[in-house]
Amino acid sequence: MHTTPKGDLTTPSKRGFLQDLIGLTIAATTLPVAAATAAPVPHLGMGAQPPRRPGIAGKRYAMVVDLRKCIGCQACTVSCSMENLPPIGQFRTTVLQYEVDRGPTELPAMLSLPRLCNHCDEPPCVPVCPVQATFQREDGIVLVDSDRCVGCGYCVQACPYDARFINHETQTADKCTFCEHRLDVGLLPACVESCVGGARVIGDINDPDSSASQMLKEHSADIKVLKPGMATAPHVFYIGLPDEFVDGIDGQASVRPVGGL
């Protein structure tokens, strides 16, 4: 009678056990991959904007900044940091101080210029995102899905307003959101609420009676945006913006930054 030596792994029971064990190991190894690829990102053409995601129906938010009222106190910067808690040394909004050279016969003029995401109608940051972590809502607000973002920095490079950064703590893209979590419940963004001079106004420009619409109408001749030639249709509008700043603040000899965060 033939007997199988002890320790021989060719017996049916042991062979079946090993096969089952290998199968379980392979299944356990492949499950995370299957979960990660369960939601494929649709292919977009060059520069194509994906469909906007739901926001507050019927609204289109915009901010109007009256530079005649901005005193450069940085209350907006502080309140934004307290509300949104970016890492120390990184900011979603800032107020930069500039000295404008007006020629040899006049004293330089000082300008406080609030900077933030412009929540453009044609945001260049959205189509460059390889995983569609950056997206735009129907009410115009541009946001970042930090759970999807891979921190590649493409959107940071694409933004012509230097409004984005890679968060040092999360390693994902970060920026101003118009405090959409506050707008969604009827509150003002932290920067607007804290502005001591009332220089920042936000509103629905689809509503002709909103404060933002009224300001745009009243000061239509004086309204300017940053870098209009980029064709991004920015929705942060400035009153009292000198011409030197319209097409960019970098590389212009007549505009010299003298401080800021």
Q: With contact defined as beta carbons under 8 Å apart, do 99 and 194 qualify?
A: no
What is the b/e burial string over 218-253, where b = at least 16 CB atoms within 10 angstroms of the residue's CB?
ebeeebebbbeebebebbbbbbbbbebbeeebeeee
Give the model's pLDDT for residue 37.
Answer: 37
CA 149 to chain centre: 12
As a whole number of angstroms, the distance between CA 94 and CA 72 comes to 9
Per-residue pLDDT tens for 223-242?
999 999 999 999 999 999 98
- pTM, two decimals, is 0.77
pLDDT at 2 over 50: no
- For 101, the 3-state DSSP assignment is coil
Instruction: Please report, for residues 106, 111, 211, 234, the alpha-carbon distance to residue 255 in angstroms, rounded to integers and kept in the order given.
Output: 15, 10, 31, 22
Give the model's pLDDT for residue 148.
Answer: 96
Per-residue pLDDT tens for 180-194?
999 999 999 999 999
Q: Which two tokens stand for residue 121?
A: 């109608």
What is the b/e burial string over 119-134, where b = at least 16 CB atoms within 10 angstroms of the residue's CB?
bbbebbbbbbbeebbb
CA 138 to chain centre: 15
Per-residue pLDDT tens for 91-116?
999 999 888 777 788 887 788 999 99
Per-residue pLDDT tens for 208-226?
999 999 999 999 999 999 9
Tell me which residue has tokens 């003002």.
Answer: 188
Give the model's pLDDT for residue 234.
Answer: 97
Averaged pLDDT score across all residues of the chain:
83
| Span 14-31, average pLDDT | 44
Per-residue pLDDT tens for 29-84?
443 433 333 344 455 555 577 788 878 889 999 999 999 999 999 999 999 999 99
As a whole number of angstroms, the distance between CA 193 and CA 187 comes to 9
